[in-house]
Each structure stands twice: as C-alpha cells, then as structure tokens.
A = this chain, B = another copy of it.
Amino acid sequence: MGKTKISSLGEFGLIEHLTKVFNTKDPSVVRAFGDDTAFVDFSKLSSSLKGGFLLFTVDTLVEGRHFLRWYPPASVGWKLVSVNVSDIAAKGGRPLFGMITLALPKYIELSYVEELYKGINQALDFYNFDLLGGNTTSSHLIMLDFPIVGHAKRLVFRDKPRVGDYIYVSPYLGDSLAGLELLLERKRDYKPYEKMLIEKHLRPTARLDLAPVVEKYATASMDISDGFISDLRKMLKNLSAEIFLEEIPLSEELKTYCLQRKKDPLYYALKGGEDYQLLITSKEDLTKFGLKKVGKITAPEGGKIIDARSGKVISIEGFDHLRV
C-alpha cells in the first residue's frame, strides 16, 4: 500500500488490517484479537501442560534507545519477539502466548508497520507460538512491548548456582556489539563478515533450542542481554567464580573485525550486550550440547569474578539502561 499513512486507516482499521496475517495454532485459544481480552480455554490448556510452571515476562524496544527509525522494520519485529522468547528459553521453558503493544507516530507509513509485522510473524512461526492480541496507540516515537506467557516443567532460577558448578555459555559472545558499531557507520557496502555481525545485532536468535538442556541440567540459568560480566554478577550475587578467558566463545567474524580495527575481541565478548546467548551453571559436562565451559563457581562469598589464569579480578562494567 506504498505511501499510505497509518492515520488514514485509523486505530481499528490498522488492527484489522494487520491481524489478518495471524492464525493461532494452540487449540486452547478460543478467541484472539477483536475483543476486550483474548480467551484461552483453561481446561484444555491444563490437560496439555500437565502441571509445571507458567512463566511471565515482558521486554520493550524503544526507538532511539534500542533501534533507530532507519533500521529494517522486519528486523525490529523479529528482535522484539526474540528478546522476550530469550527470557523463556533461559528458564528452560517454551513460549505459549504473546501480546503486543504498538505505539506509533501518526504519520508513519503503513508499509513500515506491515514490514514490522512481517518480522513478528516470522518469529512467531520460528518459535512456534501464538499472538493473542494487543493494542495500538499513537505516540511521538515508536515503542513496542511484547509480554509473553510461557511454560516450564521445573523451576530454574537465574541466581543461586552451587559452589563447584561449572559456568557455561552458548556461542558466540560479542558479535552484537560489533554489529551495532558497524551498523551505525552506515557504509554503502559491507564485507560478508561485517554483514554477518550486523545481522547478529539486528536479528538475534533466542536459544530456544537449548531450553531442554536448561530444563534437564541447569542449576541456574539466564540470558545474556546486558553483557557477560554484568549478567554473571547478577547470577553470582555474593558467590565468587573464576573465568577461563581463553574459553570465551569468539566468532571468526568478531576476530576478523577486531584484527582489522586493532581491538580486543574479549572486550566485546565480556562487555557487549544483546547477544541473547545463555549463561548456565551445572555440575554436569554440557560441552556436548555445544556449550562452552567458561568458568567455575569457587566460593560461597566474596562476590569476585577472577581471571583463572592471572588470578586478577575482572572488572569490565556491563551496560545499565538507566545510568547516564
């Protein structure tokens, strides 16, 4: 519909126009969209889930903060879903239902919103769950919210790993930050390895494939959204750990990027956020699942993260959304 502005459709027209693309898969969904609330048949849901735990999460993408207007809208939609599924995956669960809040400037083009929804729809298909409804409103900037309800068979918290547990991460770390730097350069042409890194920033994949590993083996688990060291600190709280820096998983693309620019790939891997890889602790050997063994919980107190080789404290600060 080319240069059509969303204001010409109005709120209700826009919702109707966009929700045509969604079909619910879960047989417990009685009605999604078009009512004050969505309806899910609780008895059907109960018999399909058989106990366990419901998981609730919500994460947001705000224009100017998490993305810019010129980013491909389909990638923004994909990422919106992925960052929320990532939280569910980190608990060893699977997503059941999502909802969406779409705050949009009145004069944005309909084609932008259609592309955005294309990305959301691709992600819903990929992660295999349903969008139940949502709301649209006008706003001076684009803001997207995507609450998810998921399900897990057992409780896996993000904190309280045990002393003696190994620390695992899924590969790779640091790609997203390098990709962001490249993206913001706005070059006309990118080399293949650069495109790859940019893609990691724009379209991260939630590690839902690892949810069964978390469910079976994790003593603690969380996703790495703010940076490895920053998130590890949240996991450890007062525990201490040593890190095997040489085991931190670095992609070939990140190594090439850092070589070209005389930068340290470890800096990206330890500090960079938004990789949406998983940080898992376990007594078991999880390397057979593609996870990298990057450290060990060493003491119940002290709250120190130490480089196992040098014995020095690792002090790179992570990313904190509200600090100036």
Indicate if the CB atoms of A322 and B7 lie closer than 8 Å: yes
Q: A58-B147, A65-B139, A149-B149 are in contact. Are A106 and B39 (CB under 8 A)?
A: no
Indicate if the CB atoms of B35 and A53 lie closer than 8 Å: no
Q: A57-B133, A145-B58 are in contact. Are A42 and B46 (CB under 8 A)?
A: yes
Indicate if the CB atoms of B321 and A136 lie closer than 8 Å: yes
* Proximity string of chain A (55-74) to chain B, C-beta cutoff 8 Å, 1 when within and 0 when not: 11111101011100000000
Task: Tell me which residues from 133 to 170 in chain A have a Cβ below 8 Å from any Cβ of chain B.
Answer: 133-141, 143, 145, 147, 149-152, 155, 157-159
Chain B residue nearest in CB terms to A231 = B36
Indicate if the CB atoms of B322 and A36 lie closer than 8 Å: no
Interface flag for A88 (CB, 8 Å): yes
Provide the bound-state CA to CA distance between A322 and B110, in Å: 12
Partner of A56, one of B12, B97, B234: B97
Q: A65-B139, A106-B322, A143-B139 are in contact. Are A39 and B10 (CB under 8 A)?
A: no
Partner of A145, one of B49, B101, B106, B158: B101
Interface flag for A310 (CB, 8 Å): no
Interface flag for A210 (CB, 8 Å): no
Instruction: List chain B residues, Cβ under 8 A from A323.
Output: 7, 10-11
Instruction: List chain B residues, Cβ under 8 A from A38.
Output: 55-57
Interface flag for A196 (CB, 8 Å): no
Provide the bound-state CA to CA distance between A223 and B42, in Å: 23
Interface flag for A316 (CB, 8 Å): no
Q: How far is the CB of A153 from chain B (nearest CB, A)?
A: 10
Indicate if the CB atoms of B57 and A37 lie closer than 8 Å: yes
Indicate if the CB atoms of B320 and A12 lie closer than 8 Å: yes
Chain B residue nearest in CB terms to A324 = B7
Interface flag for A248 (CB, 8 Å): no
Provide the bound-state CA to CA distance between A59 and B140, in Å: 17
Instruction: List chain B residues, Cβ under 8 A from A136.
Output: 321-322
Indicate if the CB atoms of A88 and B37 lie closer than 8 Å: yes
Partner of A53, one of B30, B91, B138: B30
Instruction: List chain B residues, Cβ under 8 A from A43.
Output: 51-52
Instruction: List chain B residues, Cβ under 8 A from A49.
Output: 42
Indicate if the CB atoms of B56 and A37 lie closer than 8 Å: yes
Interface flag for A299 (CB, 8 Å): no
Q: A42-B46, A42-B53, A55-B39 are in contact. Are A104 and B322 (CB under 8 A)?
A: yes
Q: How far is the CB of A115 from chain B (nearest CB, A)?
A: 18
Instruction: List chain B residues, Cβ under 8 A from A39.
Output: 53-55, 91, 152, 155
Which of A43, A58, A136 has the most chain B CB atoms closer than 10 A to its own CB? A58
Q: A35-B158, A46-B46, A223-B36 are in contact. Are A58 and B135 (CB under 8 A)?
A: yes
Interface flag for A45 (CB, 8 Å): yes
Partner of A322, one of B14, B60, B65, B140: B14
Instruction: List chain B residues, Cβ under 8 A from A66.
Output: 137
Interface flag for A208 (CB, 8 Å): no
8 closest A-B pairs (Cβ-Cβ)? A147-B147, A37-B55, A36-B87, A11-B322, A37-B57, A40-B54, A38-B56, A11-B321
